[in-house]
Every structure is written in C-alpha cells, then in structure tokens.
Structure 1
Amino acid sequence: MSFPLYFSRKIALSKDNKNNLSRVIIFIGRLSVALGIIVSLITVSTGFGSKKAIKERLADFSGHITVKSTRSNSSYNTSVLDNQGLEINKIKELPDVQSVQKYAMVTGIMRNEHNFAGVIFKGVGKDFDSLRFKKFLIAGTTPKITEQGYNNGITISQKVANDLHLKVKDSIVTIFSKTDQKPVYRKFEVVGIYKTDIKMIDDQFVIGDINQVRKIQDMKPNEAGGIDIFLNNIDDIDTVFPDVEKLIGYKNYAEKATEKYPQIIDWISIFDTNIALIIIIMLIVVVINIIMVLLILIIERTNSIGLLKTLGASNAQIRATFINYTLIIMIPGLLYGNLIGLGLLLIQKFLGIIRLNPENYYVSTVPVDLNPVAIISISLGILIISGLALIVPSYLISKISPVKAIKYN
C-alpha cells in the first residue's frame, strides 16, 4: 500500500476526528454528497422512466413500427396495403420482432341521446395481441375476433365512455360516411373500456372487428389497411426499422411509433435537457462543498503537513494524502445517498404514491426506471469529478513552509 493511501486512511479513521472542529464541515460535506446523489438518482430514474413509459404506451397501442399504404399517407381512413414486395412472413422472422398484427381504420361519429363523439374505428383481426392490450383495460375485455362473420363488440376509451355516458354492455350507434354514398349506420355493443393516458389516443380510438371496416370500406376478405409490428425492446426501433423497410415493397411505407406523434416526442425530448441541467447543478454544489472540506482540513492540519515535510514527504505525496482523505470522507455520503435515493424510488415504483395529471404528462403516476448502469455511473461520476476538482486546491499544500507550519497553532 502506498504511503499517501495508508496515511489518509489512518487519519480518516482516527477517533480524534470525532472531537475536532472539522466534524461540522465533514458532516456538511457528506450531507451535500448524499443530497447530490439522491437528487441525481431521482432525476435520472424518473426522467428516463417517463420517457420510456410514454414511448412504450405509444408503441404498445399502435405498434413499434407501422406499415401503411402510401395512398393513406395523411388520412385515418386507411387504404389497402399493396402486396407487391410485402413480405410479412419475413418480417415476422426478424430476430427482434415479437409479433405482427393487421388492421384497418375508418373514421366515424358515435351518437346517442347524451352526446356525440368523433372516433377512429380501428378494426383488428384474429392476430390481435389482446395480452399486450390488457394493460390498458380498466373494465371488460377486448372483442374476440375470429374474422368469421362480423363481431359487433367494441372497446372504447374511458374518455369516450364518459362523454357518451356508456358502460360495458351498453349499445351505441356509429355513423360512417362514404364518398358519394349514403352514410353507413352500425350498432355496436361496448365490451370493454380502456385508458392509455395519452390524450391523442384516448380522445379518438375505438377497437373493433376488422371485417366491419372491410365492409364499410369495400375491402376484400383478407385485405388490410396496415400492419402493426411489435418488437421485443422499444430501444431496437432504429436498428430494426431499415430491415423492415426492405420487406414492405415500394408502394407501402413504414413509420416508427416515436415519429407518429411528433408533438409528444418533442415534449419528452425536453427531459434530456432538464436531466442534464439538474445533474450539473448538483455536481457543482457537491464539488464546491468538497473543495471547502479539503481547504478546512488543510488549514486544520497545518502542523501535520509541516511535520510530514520535515520527515521528507514530498508535496505530491502530501497532496495525494489529503485528496484521498477527502474522498474517503465522501464515502458515507455516497452510501447513504444511494440507500435513501433507491429506497424512495422503489417505494414510488411499487406503490405509485406520487400521481400526475395524464392530460399534461401522458402518465398517471411518476414512472421509475432503475437502470443499474445509470445508478453506478452517478456515484462513480461524482467521485471521479470530485477527485479531479480537488487537484488544484490541493496545491495550497506546496505553499506551506515546514518551519512556519510546525510553529503554527
């Protein structure tokens, strides 16, 4: 063991430190480190958690990647997918693809004696991933689609249900308009109510049988207006997207879930700036306090510095000793900061105590993402940056004269 590390451990663990005047300064230093860790952990975990939760909700409802016909580029009334060059089976075989489901959409108006609501009727087939959708259900279920005949069951959002005073097993008439033709009337039974907390979805979408849309849109059996592609991990979208584009033909186009609602993505991108800003502020506070601790320790132990110089210790060895000493002092702050920060995050993750307004934040509770890499990086980052920041003020030791230091009282 080197002399600076050995000596710094001896003085850091000495019982004398508990009774000297520096204990208040050491306590403040440790407190600032602990608070810096707590605030940084909460900021990073909730910030990244919110970004991930919102993206996953968008993707779990409408697919991580969606393939549509170029003719339905700007319309909710989907046009028929072109089968030329469309390799659905090969898309399913891509290693990062979990499932693929077809759909078709048409706009309509739901109306009853209470109110009316403009909706987008999303017809799904027998390959609909009801298990993935289950997380959104707050009542009832999703329609059991067999694509044999017509299923009149629909799952509506809580927003639409409240506007029209509907509950499970109620009936509702929906009007669909067709170009140069009379409106088409359909009577549906509400079999389920969902809530995604994303206003753009909850205000509009109704889940029903794809055969209903096929009939309204004069589509042939087995034709679809698009396909939703679900991946194993939302972080793989950018990697898988080019492979999907090669398998959809030139008359269709692919769209990422992160591009489907640009206003939401632009909003959550602000999180990165806020996270960086808060961490920088916390880091500055921690570094200033640790530098203060070092300077107080140097002033308090001037006699020891003079004695070490008299015994032949170099300025570099003494500087290293005090830097190590200060970093050792930080360790309890790091430990308590992590324990308290992770404890608070675990409570929020499993109990969801802090709630949000979904109309403003797209989630009803504060999401938490406990990423081990981020957690370890915060502690190591603060420790390393603090160590580097201590190098310059430690040069004050080289200005101390051994003769004057020994006389110093």
Structure 2
Amino acid sequence: MNFPLYFSKKIAFSKDNKNNLSRVIVFIGRLSVALGVIVSLLTISIGLGSKKAIKERMADFSGHISIKSKQSNNSYNSSILSSEDLQLQKIKEMPDVASTQKFVAASGILRNEHNFAGIIFKGVGKDFDSARFRKFIVAGHVPVVTEKGFSNGICISQKIATDLHINVKDSIVAIFSKENQSPLYRKFEVVGIYKTDIKMIDDLFVIGGINHARKIQGMSNTEVGGIDVFLKNINYIDEDAPKIDQLVGYKNYTVKATDEYPQIMDFIAIFDMNIALIISIMLVVVIINIIMVLLILIIERTNSIGMLKTLGATNGQIRMIFINYTLLIMIPGLIFGNLIALIFLFIQKYFGIITLNPENYYLSVVPVELNVFHILLVSFGILVVSGISLVVPSYLISKISPVKAIKYN
C-alpha cells in the first residue's frame, strides 16, 4: 500500500475537513486553478482557431498554392503560364491535393453613376471550385462558368457592392486597359456578392468567366494565366509547396497563400506570442496560490505532522502526503474549470455570440478550435507543474520538531 497516497486521500476527503479553518484558502486555491484552466483553454482554442480560420479563408479564396508565370513579375495582370515542363497531372495525383483550377487575372475599374472602384478581375473556368467558394456568398449565387462563349455573370465583394450601391441582378460596366491599346469596356451582371472579411481581398477581387479575362489579356482559348492548387489540409502547405515547385517548370513559379499577404501573417504570428504569454502568467498565478495553500495546510496541521513523525513517518513520506493532499484538492478546480470553459467554447463555436471588427481582425466572429489533446494537456500540465513547484516549500516539514509540534495548539 502507498502510505502517503492513502493518508492523503483520507484527509482530503474527510468530512471533518469541511469545518476546517483552511476551507477558505482551499476554496481560493481551487478557484485559482479553475480560472487558470478557463483562461488557458480559451486562449489556446481562440488563438489557434483564429490562426486556422484566417489561413483557411485566404487559401479557400485563392488556392493554398498558386502556380504563375515568372513573366508576370508579381503583377496582378496574368502572363501566359508556360506549359513547358509543367507536370499538372502529377500535381493532381499528389495525395495531399484536393483539386486544381485555372485562372486569368486582369486589373481594371468598375464604374457606375454612383462611384468607381479599382478591381482585379479573376476569370475562372469550368473547373472552378464553386463548392469551396460558396461559403463566402452572402447574396445571390456563385457564377456559372462553362467556357463556351462569354459568361457575363460576376461575383463582387460586399465592400465593392456597398461602395458602388449595387445589388444582385444589377448591371455594371468594367473598364480594362493595356499599353498601346484602347480601353476595353465590358458590361456584367452581378449574380453574387461575397465576403471573406479579409480587406486585401474584399477591396479588390471580382470573380467572373475566364474567357473575358483571356480576351482582355490577349490569350487564346487554351491559354491560362495560372493554376490554383487546393490542398486537403492547410497544415500541409509548407511541406507540399516545395514538391509542387519541382513540377511547374523553370518558366513558372509557385506562391503559397500564406506568402501572398505577409502583413496578415505578421498579424497571425502575434497569436503565438500572446498564447505563450497568457498561459505563462496563469501558470505563475496558479503556482503561487497552490504554494500558499500548501504552506497554510502545513502550518494548520503542525500537530498532525508531529504525531506522524512520532509514529515513525519519514520527512519524505510526510512531504508526499501534503503534496498529494494539495494536488487532490485541486481536482474540483480542474473539473469545474474544464466544464465552464468547454460550455463557453461550444456556445461560441455553434452560435457565434462574440463578434469582431473584420477590418482589424480579418474575422467577423471569434473562431474556436476544439482539440481534445489541448484540453488534456492543459489539465495535465497544471497538475505536473504544480506538483513540481510544491517540492521545495514542502521541505518546511523537515524543520518541524515532533516535540514542539505536539505541544502546538
């Protein structure tokens, strides 16, 4: 029988303990543990959820990895993608690749009697991943593209629609110009309005038929300006980008969605620092409170310590009794902390009660990432760190004399 653990359970769950003068400090200790668990779980779940949501929004709109021609020189206007050494079929057969779609991009202006807006017209073909894009639609529907003739339906952002005072089924004129050529005018019908909450996307991009973009850029019906590659998981992007880069040919290059908008990635990087900082602060608070609980329990049970020493218990055994005792009284705090945190996270995940300003946070609703591993890690981590931190203050027990302890009180 493990004597320290057995004795710890006896005094931790004793009915006499409820009337003990230490019950207030025990309550404070449990409360600090519960708050530590709640704040840690909220920080991790919301922080990781925000990172994932922002990355997925960028990737689902423009592809996790885009293949472009080196002649484009990072311009929004597409140059013809070289087919030389481009092994598109091998890219499609990669196990992590979900789908691909071709596109041609052209810069222009949308204009009506109310206002005008500079845009990037992204022409997509019949392989357009409309199911992936549909999550962004707030009005109307995704443009239907067949590549037979010219599809006049376009999808614009809610920001552009507001600026130009237009709605679904309204018509709008787009103007495109190229060097040494007269401006090209195109009349489109707005069939859908989307919203990604990412300002750099919503301010610029219009989705339409690829044949219009080919005509603007002087391409044939078989030429494309780039290929968007969608992966099955955003976490594969850093691993698969170099593999895909080896299959695009020397005249083309690849760009990850996470590299398209470096200012957003800088913003995301702040989450990691904030998560580490908040969890560190909460651990310090929990440790200080738990050490305080242990010291008060030792002082209050000085008489019991003297009796145990008189009966032959070693300092090490008594230290383990009080360390186990302190950890056992933490358990209700861990249980209630997890319960309260999970209730809040589930409500937020499925009802989205807390909203954000997308211009500042790139999201309109606080996202939540629920992960069983993180939930268990927080509770286990608090128990382990607390147990280790109790070792040094528990040495106070070795300073207690049995004779003086028995006379105590």
Same fold (TM over 0.5): yes
User: Aligned partners of 1:143, 1:353: CA distance in 2, in Å?
Assistant: 31
Letter in 2 for 1:308: L
SS at match of 1:155: strand
Which residue of structure 2 lines up, in the alignment, with residue 78 of structure 1? 78
SS at match of 2:196: coil
User: Aligned partners of 1:76, 1:238: CA distance in 2, in Å?
Assistant: 24
List per-residue Cα deviations over 1:354-408 (Å, max 9, x = no partner).
Answer: 0000010000010000111111111111110000000000000000011111111
Deviation at 1:80, TM superposition (A): 0.7
User: Aligned partners of 2:84, 2:4: CA distance in 1, in Å?
Assistant: 73
User: Aligned partners of 1:302, 1:74: CA distance in 2, in Å?
Assistant: 74
User: Aligned partners of 2:319, 2:161: CA distance in 1, in Å?
Assistant: 70
User: Aligned partners of 1:73, 1:196: CA distance in 2, in Å?
Assistant: 26
Which residue of structure 2 lines up, in the alignment, with residue 407 of structure 1? 407
Which residue of structure 2 lines up, in the alignment, with residue 240 of structure 1? 240
SS at match of 1:283: helix
User: Aligned partners of 2:90, 2:280: CA distance in 1, in Å?
Assistant: 47
Deviation at 1:246, TM superposition (A): 1.1
Which residue of structure 2 lines up, in the alignment, with residue 261 of structure 1? 261
Deviation at 1:73, TM superposition (A): 2.5
User: Aligned partners of 1:332, 1:252: CA distance in 2, in Å?
Assistant: 60
Deviation at 1:297, TM superposition (A): 0.4
Q: How does 1:225-304 map to 2 (within 5 A)?
A: 225-304=225-304
Which residue of structure 2 lines up, in the alignment, with residue 353 of structure 1? 353
List per-residue Cα deviations over 1:127-149 (Å, max 9, x = no partner).
Answer: 00000000000011121111111
Deviation at 1:241, TM superposition (A): 1.1
Which residue of structure 2 lines up, in the alignment, with residue 148 of structure 1? 148
Q: How does 1:1-400 map to 2 (within 5 A)?
A: 1-400=1-400
User: Aligned partners of 2:73, 2:67: CA distance in 1, in Å?
Assistant: 11
SS at match of 2:250: coil
SS at match of 1:146: coil
Letter in 1 for 2:156: I
Q: How does the TM-score come out when normalised to structure 1?
A: 0.99
List per-residue Cα deviations over 1:245-275 (Å, max 9, x = no partner).
Answer: 1110011110111111000000110011111
List per-residue Cα deviations over 1:159-187 (Å, max 9, x = no partner).
Answer: 11011111111100000001101000000
SS at match of 1:120: strand
Deviation at 1:74, TM superposition (A): 2.0
SS at match of 1:181: coil
User: Aligned partners of 2:211, 2:92: CA distance in 1, in Å?
Assistant: 23
Letter in 1 for 2:263: Q
Deviation at 1:239, TM superposition (A): 1.2
List per-residue Cα deviations over 1:174-230 (Å, max 9, x = no partner).
Answer: 000011010000000000000000000000000000000111111011211111111
User: Aligned partners of 1:127, 1:227: CA distance in 2, in Å?
Assistant: 11
Deviation at 1:351, TM superposition (A): 0.6
User: Aligned partners of 2:16, 2:71: CA distance in 1, in Å?
Assistant: 80
SS at match of 2:365: coil
User: Aligned partners of 2:249, 2:376: CA distance in 1, in Å?
Assistant: 45
Aligned length: 409
SS at match of 2:182: strand
User: Aligned partners of 2:378, 2:73: CA distance in 1, in Å?
Assistant: 44
User: Aligned partners of 2:259, 2:251: CA distance in 1, in Å?
Assistant: 20
Q: Unpaired segments of 5 or more residues in structure 2?
A: none
SS at match of 1:83: coil
Q: How does the TM-score come out when normalised to structure 2?
A: 0.99
| Structure 1 ranges of 4+ moved more than 2 A | none
SS at match of 2:228: strand
Letter in 2 for 1:399: K
Letter in 1 for 2:227: I
SS at match of 1:178: coil
SS at match of 1:275: helix
SS at match of 2:343: helix
